[in-house]
Amino acid sequence: MMQKALSNPAELYEAAIKHTSKIFVGVKPSQYKDSTPCDKWNVQQLMEHITGGLGLAVASFAGADVTMEDHDIAKGGITVEHYNRASKRAVEVIKKPGAMSKPIKTPLGEMPGAQFAGILFMDQLVHGWDLAKATKQDTTFPKELAEAAYAMFAPQFANLQKSGAFKPSIPVPASASAQVKLLAGLGRKA
Protein backbone atom coordinates (compact mmCIF):
# COMPACT_ATOMS: atom_id res chain seq x y z
CA MET A 1 0.00 0.00 0.00
CA MET A 2 1.32 3.44 -0.92
CA GLN A 3 1.86 6.04 1.77
CA LYS A 4 0.89 9.11 -0.25
CA ALA A 5 -1.09 9.95 -3.35
CA LEU A 6 1.14 10.20 -6.38
CA SER A 7 0.53 12.87 -8.98
CA ASN A 8 3.89 13.36 -10.69
CA PRO A 9 3.95 11.26 -13.89
CA ALA A 10 7.53 10.14 -13.19
CA GLU A 11 6.50 8.88 -9.73
CA LEU A 12 3.43 7.17 -11.19
CA TYR A 13 5.57 5.49 -13.85
CA GLU A 14 8.05 4.28 -11.25
CA ALA A 15 5.21 2.92 -9.08
CA ALA A 16 3.67 1.11 -12.07
CA ILE A 17 7.07 -0.43 -12.85
CA LYS A 18 7.37 -1.68 -9.25
CA HIS A 19 3.88 -3.16 -9.47
CA THR A 20 4.54 -4.85 -12.82
CA SER A 21 7.90 -6.22 -11.65
CA LYS A 22 6.04 -8.41 -9.13
CA ILE A 23 4.01 -9.85 -11.99
CA PHE A 24 7.11 -10.48 -14.13
CA VAL A 25 8.57 -12.53 -11.25
CA GLY A 26 5.47 -14.73 -11.18
CA VAL A 27 5.55 -15.77 -14.85
CA LYS A 28 6.51 -19.40 -15.44
CA PRO A 29 8.36 -20.44 -18.63
CA SER A 30 5.57 -22.93 -19.29
CA GLN A 31 3.23 -19.91 -19.74
CA TYR A 32 5.25 -18.14 -22.48
CA LYS A 33 3.06 -19.42 -25.32
CA ASP A 34 -0.26 -18.75 -23.51
CA SER A 35 -2.63 -16.16 -24.94
CA THR A 36 -3.11 -12.74 -23.37
CA PRO A 37 -5.82 -10.07 -23.44
CA CYS A 38 -3.69 -8.45 -26.16
CA ASP A 39 -4.89 -10.40 -29.21
CA LYS A 40 -1.67 -10.06 -31.16
CA TRP A 41 0.69 -11.21 -28.38
CA ASN A 42 1.27 -14.33 -26.36
CA VAL A 43 2.82 -14.06 -22.86
CA GLN A 44 6.41 -14.02 -24.15
CA GLN A 45 5.64 -11.36 -26.77
CA LEU A 46 3.81 -9.25 -24.18
CA MET A 47 6.80 -9.49 -21.83
CA GLU A 48 9.08 -8.41 -24.69
CA HIS A 49 6.76 -5.47 -25.40
CA ILE A 50 6.70 -4.40 -21.75
CA THR A 51 10.49 -4.53 -21.44
CA GLY A 52 10.85 -2.88 -24.86
CA GLY A 53 8.65 -0.04 -23.62
CA LEU A 54 11.19 0.62 -20.89
CA GLY A 55 13.88 0.86 -23.58
CA LEU A 56 11.63 3.22 -25.54
CA ALA A 57 11.43 5.48 -22.49
CA VAL A 58 15.21 5.55 -22.15
CA ALA A 59 15.78 6.29 -25.84
CA SER A 60 13.05 8.93 -26.05
CA PHE A 61 14.08 10.82 -22.92
CA ALA A 62 17.71 10.66 -24.12
CA GLY A 63 16.66 12.55 -27.26
CA ALA A 64 16.69 9.77 -29.83
CA ASP A 65 14.24 9.86 -32.73
CA VAL A 66 12.32 6.63 -32.11
CA THR A 67 9.58 5.43 -34.43
CA MET A 68 6.96 2.77 -33.72
CA GLU A 69 8.90 0.49 -36.07
CA ASP A 70 12.07 1.05 -34.00
CA HIS A 71 10.12 0.15 -30.89
CA ASP A 72 8.76 -3.04 -32.46
CA ILE A 73 12.22 -4.10 -33.61
CA ALA A 74 13.88 -3.34 -30.26
CA LYS A 75 11.77 -5.62 -28.12
CA GLY A 76 13.15 -6.26 -24.68
CA GLY A 77 14.01 -9.48 -22.93
CA ILE A 78 11.68 -11.67 -20.95
CA THR A 79 13.71 -12.47 -17.86
CA VAL A 80 13.30 -10.70 -14.55
CA GLU A 81 16.92 -9.56 -14.92
CA HIS A 82 16.15 -7.92 -18.30
CA TYR A 83 13.10 -6.23 -16.83
CA ASN A 84 14.92 -4.99 -13.71
CA ARG A 85 17.89 -3.68 -15.68
CA ALA A 86 15.66 -1.89 -18.19
CA SER A 87 13.36 -0.49 -15.52
CA LYS A 88 16.28 0.89 -13.51
CA ARG A 89 17.54 2.76 -16.57
CA ALA A 90 14.05 4.02 -17.43
CA VAL A 91 13.45 5.37 -13.91
CA GLU A 92 16.87 7.05 -13.86
CA VAL A 93 16.31 8.88 -17.13
CA ILE A 94 12.72 9.90 -16.43
CA LYS A 95 13.56 11.28 -12.97
CA LYS A 96 16.41 13.50 -14.16
CA PRO A 97 15.88 17.18 -13.32
CA GLY A 98 13.91 18.87 -16.09
CA ALA A 99 12.80 15.64 -17.76
CA MET A 100 9.11 16.33 -17.18
CA SER A 101 9.20 19.76 -18.82
CA LYS A 102 11.44 19.15 -21.81
CA PRO A 103 9.99 18.26 -25.22
CA ILE A 104 10.32 14.55 -26.01
CA LYS A 105 10.31 13.03 -29.50
CA THR A 106 8.10 9.95 -29.36
CA PRO A 107 6.59 7.57 -31.91
CA LEU A 108 3.35 9.51 -31.28
CA GLY A 109 4.94 12.89 -32.05
CA GLU A 110 6.69 15.47 -29.92
CA MET A 111 5.19 16.17 -26.49
CA PRO A 112 6.22 17.40 -23.05
CA GLY A 113 8.05 14.84 -20.92
CA ALA A 114 5.24 14.78 -18.35
CA GLN A 115 2.68 13.84 -21.01
CA PHE A 116 4.86 11.05 -22.39
CA ALA A 117 5.60 9.81 -18.86
CA GLY A 118 1.84 9.59 -18.31
CA ILE A 119 1.47 7.45 -21.42
CA LEU A 120 4.34 5.23 -20.31
CA PHE A 121 2.72 4.93 -16.87
CA MET A 122 -0.60 3.77 -18.31
CA ASP A 123 1.13 1.38 -20.73
CA GLN A 124 3.19 -0.22 -17.96
CA LEU A 125 0.22 -0.50 -15.59
CA VAL A 126 -2.29 -1.88 -18.08
CA HIS A 127 0.11 -4.28 -19.77
CA GLY A 128 1.10 -5.47 -16.30
CA TRP A 129 -2.59 -6.27 -15.80
CA ASP A 130 -2.66 -8.08 -19.15
CA LEU A 131 0.31 -10.17 -18.05
CA ALA A 132 -1.20 -10.91 -14.64
CA LYS A 133 -4.52 -11.92 -16.24
CA ALA A 134 -2.79 -14.20 -18.76
CA THR A 135 -0.65 -15.90 -16.12
CA LYS A 136 -3.41 -16.21 -13.50
CA GLN A 137 -1.83 -13.82 -11.01
CA ASP A 138 -3.46 -11.12 -8.88
CA THR A 139 -4.80 -8.47 -11.27
CA THR A 140 -5.54 -5.83 -8.62
CA PHE A 141 -3.89 -2.45 -9.12
CA PRO A 142 -2.82 -0.37 -6.15
CA LYS A 143 -5.84 1.91 -5.64
CA GLU A 144 -3.79 5.10 -6.05
CA LEU A 145 -2.46 3.96 -9.43
CA ALA A 146 -5.88 2.93 -10.70
CA GLU A 147 -7.39 6.26 -9.68
CA ALA A 148 -4.55 8.28 -11.21
CA ALA A 149 -4.63 6.34 -14.50
CA TYR A 150 -8.41 6.59 -14.78
CA ALA A 151 -8.39 10.34 -14.06
CA MET A 152 -5.63 10.84 -16.62
CA PHE A 153 -7.05 8.74 -19.45
CA ALA A 154 -10.85 8.66 -19.11
CA PRO A 155 -11.18 11.92 -21.09
CA GLN A 156 -9.16 10.30 -23.90
CA PHE A 157 -10.95 6.94 -24.23
CA ALA A 158 -12.79 7.86 -27.44
CA ASN A 159 -9.60 9.12 -29.12
CA LEU A 160 -7.62 6.08 -27.99
CA GLN A 161 -10.21 3.79 -29.57
CA LYS A 162 -10.17 5.79 -32.80
CA SER A 163 -6.43 5.15 -32.99
CA GLY A 164 -7.16 1.45 -33.44
CA ALA A 165 -4.80 0.51 -30.61
CA PHE A 166 -7.67 -0.35 -28.26
CA LYS A 167 -10.90 -2.31 -28.47
CA PRO A 168 -14.21 -0.50 -28.00
CA SER A 169 -15.15 0.48 -24.45
CA ILE A 170 -17.13 -1.98 -22.39
CA PRO A 171 -20.06 -0.53 -20.45
CA VAL A 172 -19.71 -0.73 -16.65
CA PRO A 173 -21.81 0.70 -13.82
CA ALA A 174 -20.99 4.22 -12.62
CA SER A 175 -20.32 2.69 -9.21
CA ALA A 176 -17.48 0.51 -10.59
CA SER A 177 -13.98 0.99 -9.22
CA ALA A 178 -11.46 3.18 -11.00
CA GLN A 179 -9.59 0.04 -12.11
CA VAL A 180 -12.71 -1.52 -13.65
CA LYS A 181 -13.61 1.78 -15.37
CA LEU A 182 -10.05 2.20 -16.69
CA LEU A 183 -9.89 -1.32 -18.08
CA ALA A 184 -13.39 -1.06 -19.57
CA GLY A 185 -12.50 2.24 -21.20
CA LEU A 186 -9.55 0.52 -22.83
CA GLY A 187 -11.69 -2.39 -24.04
CA ARG A 188 -10.69 -4.88 -21.34
CA LYS A 189 -13.07 -6.85 -19.15
CA ALA A 190 -11.86 -6.90 -15.56
Do 129 and 145 lie in a common domain? no
Query: Is there a domain that residue 2 lies in?
Result: no
Question: Has residue 65 been placed in a domain?
Answer: yes
**Same domain? 55 vs 97:** yes
Residue 1 lies in a domain: no
Quick one: 49 and 103 in the same domain? yes
Predicted pLDDT of residue 168: 83
Q: What is the mean pLDDT of residues 88-116?
A: 92
Number of domain units in the chain: 2
124: exposed, middle or buried (Cβ count in 10 Å: 0-12, 13-18, 19+): buried
Report how far residue 99's alpha carbon sits from residue 90's, in angstroms, rounded to the nearest whole number: 12
Q: Which of the 8 DSSP states describes residue 62? A: T
CB atoms within 10 A of CB 178: 18
Please indicate, yes or no, whether residues 72 and 156 belong to a single structural domain of this protein.
Answer: no
Write down the pLDDT at residue 72.
62
Residue 91 clears pLDDT 80, i.e. is over it: yes
Query: Are residues 161 and 108 located together in one domain of the fold?
Result: no
Tell me, yes or no, whether 46 and 97 share the same domain. yes
pLDDT for 2 equals 41
Q: Is residue 18 one of the residues assigned to a domain?
A: yes
* Mean pLDDT to the nearest integer, 116-126: 94
pLDDT band of residue 73 (cuts 50, 70, 90) is low
CATH number for the domain that contains residue 19? 1.20.120.450
Q: Give me the phi and psi of 137, to 5 degrees please.
A: -105, 175
The answer to whether the pTM exceeds 0.85 is: yes
Range of the domain at 154: 141-190
